[in-house]
Amino acid sequence: MTRLPEKAARPTMYFVGVTTGSSSIMKVFPVWAKELGLDAVIKGIDMPIHAPAEEYRRVVEFIRDDPLSLGALVTTHKIDMYNAASDLFDYLDPYAQRFGELSSISKKDGKLCAHAKDPISSGLALDSFVPKDHWIKTGAQACVLGAGGSALSISAYLGNEERHGADVPSRIHLDNRSAPRLAEAVRVLEYLNVPMSYHMCKEPILNDKIVESLPAGSLVINATGLGKDRPGSPLTDACQFPENGIVWELNYRGSLEFLHQAEAQRAGKNLTIEDGWTYFIHGWTQVIAEVFHIDITGDRLAACDRIAREMR
């Protein structure tokens, strides 16, 4: 059974995850709070992956009913928590409803609110390392390994023609081990006009075949969670990344096998490699801004970025 914290004695934000104690945020948040003028603390709530529905409901009810528990960032459990407890919220933002997930819990005007911040934070991260007009110039494709909440948010951002115009991948591949999640991905992303391919890949060698079929300049993303809370990679060590490709490992901590596989080919394939650190910065500042009802952009965001990188 998930162990809930004691009733909060001062304004508190929670981190709902699997192994929260090893996250950099536990050291970074107190320094950020001082910089942002917040009198608040952070506490972790660790839950097993795919915990029973009643456990997710207990966590949401605890935050809802405790006056000084102001909200939470949710990772790993975003879809499961939405499925188990969405009815407990007074407000679900449009992204949460579309993607069937929640990554932010907050309170406003007496209402319990849920937001899905991944479509915003993943877009901010992508814009920081994918060159402008990259897709127009290269005709490259994107391969998203995994079909969880982050994977769907990233796919939706990459294929957003209203935002990017013609500067979108020529095709987006979505690989996953289970058919139900792929079926959900088809339902959620059916509005995109960018050509989509969905692949059920139960073994890493099947992911290898998709990645090795990509044209030069393509983007390959590990959105499976493997290499963070669970060891492993969605690819085998033999997989060859595309020439001049961009490789994004969403994790920034853990065994990071996928990241190391890319690093081994960096020089030979002229790869651009990103880990999940920028995603971490945007993901946390977006939720902190929601929980404490403050603006974290411009100089404030730059200060948070600088502080976190100095402490990394």
Q: Over pLDDT 90: what percentage of the chain?
A: 93
Average pLDDT of the chain, as a whole number: 96
Q: Which of 77, 102, 83 is nearest to 92 (CA)?
A: 102
- Indicate if the pLDDT at residue 149 is higher than 90: no
Can you give the length of the chain in residues? 312
Band of residue 173 on the pLDDT scale cut at 50, 70, 90: very high
Query: Could you tell me what percent of the chain has a pLDDT over 70?
Result: 100
pLDDT in tens, 179-226: 999 999 999 999 999 999 999 999 999 999 999 999 999 999 999 989
Mean pLDDT computed over 172-179:
96
Residue 229 confidence (pLDDT) above 80 = no
Mean pLDDT of 232-260: 97
Judge whether residue 49 has pLDDT over 80. yes
* Residue 112 scores a pLDDT above 90: yes
Residues whose CB falls within 8 Å of the CB of residue 174, separated by 6 or more in sequence, listed in order: 144, 147, 151, 155, 182, 185, 189, 196, 197, 198, 199
| Confidence band, pLDDT 50/70/90 cuts, at residue 230 | confident
Task: Note the pLDDT of residue 1.
Answer: 80
pLDDT surpassing 80 at residue 68: yes
The whole-number pLDDT of residue 312 equals: 82
Give the pLDDT score at 42.
98
The number of angstroms, rounded, from the C-alpha of 240 to the middle of its chain's C-alpha atoms is 25
The single-letter code of the amino acid at 187 is: R
